[in-house]
Chains A and B, each alone.
Chain A
Amino acid sequence: MTSELLPQSVTFHLRSDSGVPAYLQLVQQVRQAVRMGVLEIGDQLPTVKEVVAELAINPNTVQKAYRELEHEGLVVGRQGVGTFVARRPNGPPPGTQVRLARGLHKWVQSARAEGMDDEAMEALLRETLRGTTAVEVA
C-alpha cells in the first residue's frame, strides 16, 4: 500500500481518455469540492506548483483552469499569495433540487416502462443537452 500526505487542501485527478480538456476537468473538480463543502469560502486552492507536482501537467493548464474559475467569479486570485474560494457555484436551492430529482425519477420509470434501456436514455439526455444549449446560443 502506498500512502501520500500532501500539504495542500484538496487533491485532483485527470482522466486522459474522457474527451474533456484537462483544464475543464480541474474546473469541474473545484466546483464539486465547493458544492460538497470540502472547500469553503475563503479556503485556499492548491498552488499551481502543487497541482503540477501532483499531476505532472503543464502549469499553463492549471493557470487556465484558475482563470476560468476567476472569470466565473467562483475564486479570486491574490497576487503573490494564492487563489481563494469566493462563493458557491450557481445552482437551485435545496428544495428545488429535491423537486427536480423527483420529476426525473418519474420520467425514468415511464421510459423504462416503454422499453427504453439505460444506454438509450443516456444518449437521449446527451443529445438534448447539446441541442438545448445550441438553441440558447442561437
Chain B
Amino acid sequence: MTGPSIETSGLGKQYGQLWALQDCSLQVPPGRVTALLGPNGAGKTTLLRLLVGLASPSAGSARVLGRAPDSSEEFLADIGYLAQDVPLYRRLSADDHIGLGAHLNKRWDAEGARDRLSRLHVPMDRPVATLSGGQRAQVALGLVLAKRPRLLLLDEPVAALDPLARREFLSALSEAVTDGGVSVILSSHLVHDLERVCDHVILMSASRVQLCADIDDVLASHRMLLGPRRPVDAVEPGLTVISATQTQRQTRLLVRTAGPVLDPSWEQDEVGLEDVILAYMGNEGAGIGAERTHRHLEVAP
C-alpha cells in the first residue's frame, strides 16, 4: 500500500453543543505504529470511532486505507478495532469467540489466534468473564489480529492492565507488526509504554491535533535550550518556541527547529519524547502552528 493509511481533512465531531474533535487534518504514512496521545477528553476515542465508521463526522472527512469509513464488509475486513474496556461476550469462552469469528469474517486465522493464546497460557474454554484483565486484553487482541487486517485501531488497550500484562500485550502487538503488512494506531494517556513500540506519534489536546510526525523526526527536530535570560521573541528565525520558562537569570526554551541552532550562547540538549509531549500539551486550545506558553518563575534574590 503506498498511500497514507490514515488521512483526515478538517475532520470534526460535535455532540450537542460540544465539539469533541475539531479541525483535525493529519496524514499517517503506511506501515507505521502510531501512538495517539493526549489527556482524557482530548478526543482520542472520538477520532478512532470516526476512523472505524462507528461514528460519522459533523465536519470534514476521513480516508482510511484510501476510502471513507463505512459499514461495508470490504472495509470492515481490512480493519481491526479494539474498543475501550475490551468488549467481549462475557459468557462465551475464548474458543467460542474464535469460532464465531470464523463465521463472521472472510479472512480468519483461527489457528494463529489459538497458538498465540495458548503460548500465553490463557485458558481457552472458560467464560471470559472469569479471566483476568490482562488475559481478556490478550483474547481481544488475538481476535483482532486473527482478522489479518491492514490497519489496527486500539483504544487505550493497556490502560487497565498491570505492568506485566501491559508488557505482554505490547510484546504480542510488536510481534504481530514484525510479520509485516499491518499499520497500527493505539491510543493512550501514558507516554512511557508506547515510546518503544511506536515509531509515529499523534498528539491531541483539547479536541485538536497538536503534533503528527515520525518519532525520530520529532526527537531530531526538537531541542532544549538553556541560556542567559532574554526576551522570548528575540530568538533566531527558524526556531519555533514550544514552551518557555523564564527565571531572573535564565531562559529555558523547548524549540522546534529545521536545522542546527547556531547561537553559541545557548546550551543545547536533546529532549525525550515525554518532555516534548508535555511542552505541546501546555498549549491547550492552540493547535499545530501556535507556539508559545510562557512561565515566569520569580526567584527571590
Contact = CB atoms under 8 A, between A and B. Distances in A.
* A–B contact, 8 Å CB criterion (strictly below): yes
Contacts of A14: 196
Nearest to B167: A56
A77 to B, nearest CB: 15
B270 A19 contact: yes
Interface stretch (A46-54, A93-101, A112-120): A46-54
Interface string A36-73: 00000000000011001111111111000000000000
Contacts, number: 46
Bin the interface of chain A by size.
Answer: 10 to 19
B175 A16 contact: no
A53 B171 contact: yes
Contact of B199 (A49, A56, A58): A58
A71 B177 CA distance: 25
A69 B170 CA distance: 26
Interface string B188-220: 000010011111000000000000000000010
Contact of B192 (A16, A21, A55, A59): A16
B72 to A, nearest CB: 31
A61 B175 CA distance: 13
A58 B198 contact: yes
A59 B196 contact: no
A22 B198 CA distance: 12
B195 A56 contact: no
Given A19-B270, A52-B171, A57 B196 contact: yes
B112 to A, nearest CB: 14
A49 B199 CA distance: 17
Interface in A85-118: none
Bin the interface of chain B by size.
Answer: 10 to 19
A48 B174 CA distance: 10
Contacts of A54: 171
A60 B196 contact: no
B267 to A, nearest CB: 12
Contacts of A61: 196, 199
Contacts of B175: 49, 52-53
B170 A56 contact: yes
Contacts of A57: 174, 196-197
A49 B178 contact: yes
Contacts of A59: 174, 177-178
Nearest to A49: B178
Interface string A5-36: 00000000010100101100000000000000
A56 B171 contact: yes
B201 to A, nearest CB: 12
Interface string B150-181: 00000000000000000100110111011100
B33 interface: yes
B249 to A, nearest CB: 22
Interface string B15-56: 000000000000000000100000000000000000000000
Most chain B CB within a 10 A radius of its CB, from A16, A19, A22, A56: A56
A127 B192 CA distance: 30
Most chain B CB within a 10 A radius of its CB, from A21, A48, A49: A49
Contacts of B178: 48-49, 52, 59
A19 B197 CA distance: 17
A16 B270 CA distance: 14
Nearest to A63: B178
A58 B174 contact: yes
Contacts of A16: 192, 195-196
A70 B135 CA distance: 39
A45 to B, nearest CB: 15
21 contacts: A16-B192, A19-B270, A19-B272, A22-B196, A49-B175, A49-B179, A52-B171, A52-B174, A52-B175, A52-B177, A54-B171, A55-B171, A56-B167, A56-B173, A56-B174, A57-B174, A57-B196, A57-B197, A58-B177, A58-B196, A58-B199
List the 9 closest A-B pairs by CB distance, nearest first. A56-B170, A56-B171, A57-B196, A59-B178, A52-B174, A49-B178, A58-B199, A53-B175, A52-B178
